């Protein structure tokens, strides 16, 4: 599904940057062409070398942005190259720049120089996430057609707090990227309500025994994810599933 597809990963400066290494590694092993852009702050948490090694492609920083040896400007090349652009983690700072249309580094210039769908995976401390200005920026960017949300979850954060703001896990981000590659971010199901059932049925004979089947629910979840990306309002009815990784349903 991702083999040969061109996926650009934008990494901004949050502690969750280390988790994105797994996203890049998984995509590259599956045969995708993956390139990464790191902000200066991201470079404080992870190195371009890590991403370049995992992706088998150069990883770019603002130093590259200001080099004259790329032929055409780097942000234009990368923007035209990408089929899907995933920004993970998305900091409060970079989110504000996207909401305002700012372009002061390689990552934000590439956003403006591209037309592909963009997946956003915010990550930050709960108090930061709940700030009215951050919430306003988040709502603002999601009104633009090209931005898609990998919503942050709740859990233990790196700052020893439990709350919302934890970046979506790699196993949640990967299906988002796959479905954006498939739908190209089209929202042709906007205004539709889709009901999907997923997972095996359990018909209990008594409290401990049941007649069931080994359905994993993966197909239903994939369908729900794709319908969600195409703009539908999705209701997912599921039985017990190993990992339910959908945001926005
Ligand atoms: C240890 C540490 C952890 C940080 N974690 C986050 C974070 O998870 N989310 C966030 O929005 N900002 C976080 N920041 C702040 C950003 O790094 C800072 O706002 C930076 O300017 C972001 O730049 P960028 O958006 O260009 O990457 C953190 C800063 C430090 C020092």
- The 10s digit of each residue's pLDDT in 43-101 is 999 999 999 999 999 999 999 999 988 789 999 999 999 999 999 999 999 999 999 99
The domains of the chain, with CATH numbers, are 6-183 (3.40.50.1950), 193-238 (no CATH)
pLDDT, residue 221, reads 87
DSSP alpha helices (H): ranges in 82-210?
92-100, 106-112, 126-130, 132-142, 170-183
**Taking 70 as the threshold, does the pLDDT of residue 244 lie above it?**
no
Q: Ligand 1: which atom is nearest the Cα of residue 159?
A: 3
Average pLDDT for 206-235: 89
Which residue of 20, 48, 87, 93 sits with most ligand 1 atoms within 8 Å of its CB, as the best mutation to test the pocket? 93
Closest CA to 180 of 99, 87, 93: 87
pLDDT, residue 240, reads 67
List, for residues 29-48, the tens digit of each pLDDT value.
999 999 999 999 999 999 99
Q: Is the CB of 96 under 6 A from ligand 1?
A: no
Active site residue 159: yes
CA of 19 to the centre of ligand 1 (A): 15
**Virtual CA dihedral for 183, 229, 139, 84, nearest 10 degrees?**
-40
CA of 42 to the centre of ligand 1 (A): 8
Q: Is the CB of 157 under 6 A from ligand 1?
A: no
């Amino acid at each position: 599904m991702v083999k040969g597809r061109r996926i650009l990963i934008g990494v901004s400066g949050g502690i969750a940057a280390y988790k994105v290494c797994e996203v890049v590694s998984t995509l590259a092993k599956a045969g995708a062409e993956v390139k990464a852009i790191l902000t200066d702050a991201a470079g404080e948490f992870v190195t371009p070398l890590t991403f370049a090694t995992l992706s088998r492609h150069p990883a770019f920083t603002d130093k590259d942005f200001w080099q004259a040896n790329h032929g055409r400007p780097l942000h234009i090349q990368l923007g035209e190259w990408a089929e899907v652009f995933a920004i993970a983690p998305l900091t409060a700072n970079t989110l504000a720049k996207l909401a305002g249309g700012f372009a002061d580094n390689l990552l934000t210039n590439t956003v403006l120089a591209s037309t592909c769908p963009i997946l956003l995976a915010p990550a930050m401390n709960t108090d930061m996430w709940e700030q009215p200005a951050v919430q306003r920026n988040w709502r603002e960017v999601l009104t633009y057609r090209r931005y898609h949300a990998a919503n942050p979850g709740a859990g233990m954060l790196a700052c020893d707090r439990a709350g919302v703001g934890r970046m979506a896990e790699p196993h949640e981000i990967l299906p988002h990227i796959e479905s954006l590659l498939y739908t190209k971010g089209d929202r042709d199901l906007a205004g539709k309500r889709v009901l999907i059932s997923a997972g095996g049925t359990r018909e209990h004979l008594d409290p401990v025994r049941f007649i069931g089947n080994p359905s994993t629910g993966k197909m239903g979840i994939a369908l729900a994810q794709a319908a969600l990306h195409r703009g539908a309002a999705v209701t997912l009815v599921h039985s017990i599933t190993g990992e339910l990784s959908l945001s926005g349903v």
